Amino acid sequence: MALLELKNLTLSFGGLMAVKDVSFTVEENSITGLIGQNGAGKTTIFNLLTHVYRPNSGSVILEGEELKGNRPHKAVAQGLSRTFQNIRLFRNMSVLDNIKVGYLQQGKYSVTEGILRFPSYWREEKAVDEKARELLRAFDMEPYADYYAGNLPYGQQRQLEICRALATNPRVLLLDEPAAGMNPSETEGLMDRINALREKFSMAILLIEHDMKLVMGICDKIVVLNYGCVIAEGCPEEIRNNEEVITAYLGSEA
């Protein structure tokens, strides 16, 4: 059984059909790529998965259960976490604090316990601090721990967003153009990290990307979207040779 299944998802904005009858699956421990032109509906699908939008019809099934929800923070509880196309960091908070926000839902102490500084406060804060630092270490970012997130170099900001999403302990990690704005060597580093992620945390990754080298390089499966509809779903070889995909998006190989 697939970890995540999208069934006939449809969403229209007024007269504009953003996503039409979209169905595909994401397997456990896999990296699935979601590609297509700008405006094909990729980010919209992310928004649907994380309850930013409500679909007109269709359903999302995670680990066998249909996901229902109307607030994005519920999606996190259900096991879906995402990054954003345009980086959305908490710029005036420290790098460490950014990640700690990701651990929020796993925390237990109440507002009162926090204010009165109960033992649970000290215990949990220490634990969260350690976990956050560990995450930073995995990304070679521990020296940045106390810097303001907004002061980080661009590449590190992107990484921080991924760290923050990881902190929420998702079953499926949704990455929206994580390599945007990166030079080839940074992209390679990112590729390695994403692979390492897949091994270290058992989760699936759904990846929106335009960088074909990255996509073809690490994805187990690729889903191609065009004008809101799925036009192909398969392994990189298949997709690379798919006529429709070539015309719609890839262009003939240079």
Query: Interface with another protein by CB under 8 A: which residues?
Result: 13-14, 43, 47, 50, 52-53, 71-73, 75-77, 81-82, 84-86, 88-97, 100-105, 107, 109, 111, 114-117, 119, 121-122, 124-126, 128-129, 143-148, 150-155, 164-165, 167-168, 177, 180-181, 210
Comparing CB distances to another protein, the nearer of 25 and 75 is: 75
Distance of alpha carbon 52 from alpha carbon 1, whole angstroms: 26
Name residue 44's amino acid.
Answer: T
As measured in angstroms, the least distance from the Cβ of 147 to another protein is 6
Comparing CB distances to another protein, the nearer of 55 and 242 is: 55
Comparing CB distances to another protein, the nearer of 51 and 221 is: 51
As measured in angstroms, the least distance from the Cβ of 252 to another protein is 23
Comparing CB distances to another protein, the nearer of 14 and 251 is: 14
Comparing CB distances to another protein, the nearer of 69 and 236 is: 69
As measured in angstroms, the least distance from the Cβ of 129 to another protein is 6
Torsional class of 186: left (φ above 0), alpha (ψ -120 to 50), beta (otherwise): alpha
Comparing CB distances to another protein, the nearer of 57 and 122 is: 122
Name the burial class of residue 202, with classes exposed (0-12), middle (13-18) and buried (19+) by CB atoms within 10 angstroms of its CB.
exposed
As measured in angstroms, the least distance from the Cβ of 105 to another protein is 4
Helical spans, DSSP H, in the chain: 42-49, 72-78, 95-102, 111-115, 119-138, 154-167, 184-200, 212-218, 236-241, 243-245
Comparing CB distances to another protein, the nearer of 4 and 242 is: 4
Angle separating helix axes 184-200 and 154-167, nearest 10 degrees: 10
- Sheet order of strands, 16-26 included: 16-26, 4-13, 57-62, 65-66
Longest dimension (CA), the chain: 65
Burial 44-64 (b: 16+ CB within 10 A, else e): bbbbbbbbebebeebebbbee
Between strands 221-226 and 229-234, the pairing is antiparallel
As measured in angstroms, the least distance from the Cβ of 163 to another protein is 11
